[in-house]
Amino acid sequence: MKIIYLLLDAISYKHSWLNNRILMPNLNNYSKNALNFHNHYSVTHNTRGNLASMLSGISSSLTKVMGRKQSFRDNKYGNIQNRIREMGYTSNYFGSQPLFQNEKVGDNLDFDNCKYFSPSMSDFYIPAEKFNIKVREELNNIGKNSFSIFHYTDCHEPYETPDNKLTKKEYPNIFKFHYRLSNILYRIPRKFFYNFFYPKNLKKKLDIFRKYPDLKNLCPNPFGSISTPERYSSFYEMVWQNIEFQKEYENMMFVSLRYLDKKITNIIEYIKLKYSKNSLIFISSDHGNNGVISPKTKKNEGCLTDDATHIPLTVMTFDEDLRNKLDIRGDVNNLTSHTNLYNTILNIVDPLNYKIQKSLLNKKEINKYVFSEINDSRLSYGECRMRGKNKEIIFKIDPSDNLDDIKLIEKKNIINDFLDEDYEKYYSIKENFNNNLFERY
């Protein structure tokens, strides 16, 4: 079976195809004949931490990967890539941004095929219409028995898709900011010089294009477009000081969502045309859209609010036999998490040894609670959210890069108010989960 995971970076549930037909109408139409998860949560607020948990089936405090500071190799509990290789499956990762930050150069992170088409989403952004060229090529190359992730980054800020045009009519406040006198006389000419004439950037561009030979045709605007207001100083300060400015900025995100919706449709139709038989498609986000969450909200309410962690997940197929066999249809409102992907893939690949009770494809309850966690010395505080059907328990601790302090939080380390009964419930569930993990290997 071809298992294809379309990972769409930074889309919150409330903006997604499962909740907003206007923003993502094409994916909304596909979802009507698919299996949709309406209470699905990420384990943290960034790509790296979530991908580690998706591939290992455990929370970010156990993978020891919560962001760019940690290496995927810090995870001592194994991953899906190695497990399915034993069953005759290959694993593949294709990204318009790199995963390596603290990895050795050339580390494929246990994928059989791991390709990065750009070294930096910020400096060398590849729009979906260009990325689709590589996606089609790789779909043609991967084997029949495979699990493959294709990582799109169009909805991540800064919003620079080909459809994002800065016009005075649509964005009067941002337009005025962008073409203020100081920008026209100083910052815009300086950025133009940096992009096209600055020796250091010219050398960097040549070096990058040498290392990534396809990138010259894939990236239309190295170092970002001149007309992207987010690239200029004090832009974000203006966004969060003026409600009208905020609305315009959010509309920039909406344009990106509509753009991605159109381009993902092209790939889905390609899969339908060429690989509809015995293929399964997962469509989800890694985390919510942090770009439109205000700094004040992050400081007061934390980095793991619903906007940051409540995300869409749809599973679909064009193979009617497979749809009927796995019952790929309907809506699931039970709590699910990125950690459930691990057992789901095992269940699909080897259903005799990995029972359906452990899988997302089992529509019955598989989680009474789901966890989202983060700690980082750069934050105001570390945070754990334990979400249940009718209750959410939140614990905050002092910020640190030592992830052991969030693996099982001690009562003495909690800095916010809490109920003893909530803590006892948290401690019992988390301790049991941590202990049971050791039975896996």
Q: Which of 368, 401, 421 is the last residue of a domain?
A: 368
Answer whether 110's CB lies under 8 Å from 54's CB.
no
Helix axes 243-275, 128-141, angle to 10 degrees: 30
Are residue 279 and residue 380 in the same domain, yes or no? no
Residue with tokens 């390609």: 270
Determine the pLDDT at residue 154.
97
Are residue 148 and residue 262 in the same domain, yes or no? yes
Are residue 123 and residue 262 in the same domain, yes or no? yes
Structure tokens at 283: 């469509």
Distance CA 378, CA 385 (A): 19
Determine the pLDDT at residue 100.
67
Distance CA 117, CA 284 (A): 21
Structure tokens at 356: 């359906």
Is residue 352 assigned to a domain? Answer: yes
Within 13 Å and on the Cβ side, how many CA atoms surround 15? 30
Is residue 196 assigned to a domain? Answer: no
Answer whether 345's CB lies under 8 Å from 80's CB.
yes
Is residue 245 assigned to a domain? Answer: no
Are residue 33 and residue 139 in the same domain, yes or no? yes
Q: Left (φ > 0), alpha (ψ -120 to 50) or beta: where does 93 sit?
A: beta
Distances (CA, A) of 176 to 202, 231, 304, 428: 31, 15, 33, 55
Which regions of 127-206 does DSSP assign to beta strands (E)? 146-152
- For 122-163, the pLDDT digits (tens) are 899 999 999 999 999 999 999 999 999 999 999 999 999 999
Are residue 311 and residue 433 in the same domain, yes or no? no
Distance CA 320, CA 328 (A): 9
Which SS3 state, helix, strand or coil, does residue 84 take? helix
User: Does residue 47 have a pLDDT over 70?
Assistant: yes
Would the pTM of this model clear 0.85, i.e. be above it? yes
Is residue 340 assigned to a domain? Answer: yes
* Among candidate residues 121, 192, 130, the one with its CA nearest the CA of residue 162: 130
Domain residues for 87? 2-159+253-368
Q: What is the mean pLDDT of residues 288-304?
A: 94
Residue with tokens 């452990």: 358
Q: Which of 325, 351, 368 is the last residue of a domain?
A: 368
What are all long-range contacts of 270-276, with beta carbons under 8 Å and residues at least 24 apart?
A: 270/136, 270/139, 271/4, 271/139, 271/318, 272/318, 274/139, 274/140, 275/2, 275/4, 275/139, 276/317, 276/318, 276/319
Please name the helix (run of DSSP H) or strand (run of DSSP E) that holds residue 62, with its range, or none.
helix 60-63
Helix axes 188-196, 199-211, angle to 10 degrees: 50
Are residue 295 and residue 380 in the same domain, yes or no? no
User: Does residue 106 have a pLDDT over 80?
Assistant: no
pLDDT band with cut points at 50, 70 and 90 for residue 441: very low
Are residue 30 and residue 149 in the same domain, yes or no? yes
- For 395-428, the pLDDT digits (tens) are 999 999 988 899 999 999 999 999 999 999 999 9
Task: Return mean pLDDT, the chain.
Answer: 94
Distances (CA, A) of 305 to 188, 195, 245, 309, 412: 36, 37, 23, 6, 24
Q: Which of 341, 368, 395 is the last residue of a domain?
A: 368
User: Does residue 436 have a pLDDT over 80?
Assistant: no
Distance CA 255, CA 263 (A): 13
Is residue 54 assigned to a domain? Answer: yes
Determine the pLDDT at residue 102.
66
Residue with tokens 């099982």: 408
Cα 130 → chain centroid: 19
pLDDT band with cut points at 50, 70 and 90 for residue 76: confident
Structure tokens at 372: 């989202």
Is residue 207 assigned to a domain? Answer: no
Q: Worst-scoring range by mean pLDDT, 1-10, 35-44, 119-128, 312-321?
A: 119-128
- For 304-328, the pLDDT digits (tens) are 999 999 999 999 999 999 999 999 9
Determine the pLDDT at residue 178.
95
User: Does residue 275 have a pLDDT over 90?
Assistant: yes
Are residue 338 and residue 381 in the same domain, yes or no? no
Q: What percent of the chain has pLDDT over 90?
A: 87
Is residue 208 assigned to a domain? Answer: no
Q: Which amino acid is at 380?
A: S
Q: What is the mean pLDDT of residues 179-196?
A: 94
Are residue 416 and residue 356 in the same domain, yes or no? no
Are residue 341 and residue 382 in the same domain, yes or no? no
pLDDT band with cut points at 50, 70 and 90 for residue 182: very high
CATH number, residue 44: 3.40.720.10
User: Does residue 187 have a pLDDT over 90?
Assistant: yes
Is residue 357 assigned to a domain? Answer: yes
Distance CA 124, CA 344 (A): 34
- For 197-231, the pLDDT digits (tens) are 999 999 999 999 999 999 999 999 999 999 999 99
Are residue 289 and residue 384 in the same domain, yes or no? no
Residues sharing a CB contact under 8 Å with residue 235, sequence separation 6 or more, in sequence order = 177, 229
Q: What percent of the chain has pLDDT over 70?
A: 98
User: Does residue 345 have a pLDDT over 90?
Assistant: yes
Are residue 364 and residue 387 in the same domain, yes or no? no
| Total count of domains within the chain | 2
User: Does residue 65 have a pLDDT over 50?
Assistant: yes
